[in-house]
Structure 1
Amino acid sequence: MTRPNVLVLGFDPYRVPISDADAVAAALDRGQARFAELDLATETCLLGLDDDVPAVVTSALTAQPWDCVVVGGGLRKPAEALELFELVVNLVHRHAPQAAIAFNTSPEDSADAAVRVLAA
């Protein structure tokens, strides 16, 4: 059996205005380590505010078949990101319709979110 392929979409902590980018980057690293612990293949697509989001996300989504796409909390939690969140979810739906969609609560539990929806 092949390892599930998981794409994680989120903000690049060094390219968005946040108070402690180093702490978020460290959490992302711990989250990636968790994917390895669970034997999940993963790629990360981190966005900046100046990115052409549809182009960047579409490129990541079409790079290979994904079993699961995790949409990070930074894209969905702040009210001012609602339109971006809608855009990303609809891009996933359009370009990776076979993928389960998961939502994390922090960068560290992205792998657990993927496992949760892949098991459903």
Structure 2
Amino acid sequence: MTPEPAPNPSPASAAPDPSPPDTDDPVISSYNIHLTNSDIPRLVLQFLDRDPNNAYDEAHGQKPSSLRLKPHSGVLEVDVPITTRVNYDIPKGLRYGDALRRSRVGGGGTSGGF
């Protein structure tokens, strides 16, 4: 005796999801994306700790200036100018710089030989 396969539910009988939308994680923006060539890899960069009102863009003086992808290592480098007037904690920057200088190890990224 062989078991019978389970019947496939018809689309008409599928019930809508009754769960309410997640209000703790609202969608703040959406974009229409038109894919023209599926052979090209695409990257979506998300800055989870970044306030959406302070985007990395030209209006805020922090438009990314370049992007480098190292395909063998999978490293992605994005150069973003730092404006010390917005979104920058000067005392933490000074502490980080002092710690980096004392460690004599250097930094990551291109300048650090990454």
TM-score using structure 1 length: 0.25
More strand by share: 1
User: Could you say which structure has the larger radius of gyration?
Assistant: 2
Higher relative contact order, chain-length normalized (CA < 8 Å, sep 6+): 1
- TM normalised by structure 2 equals 0.26
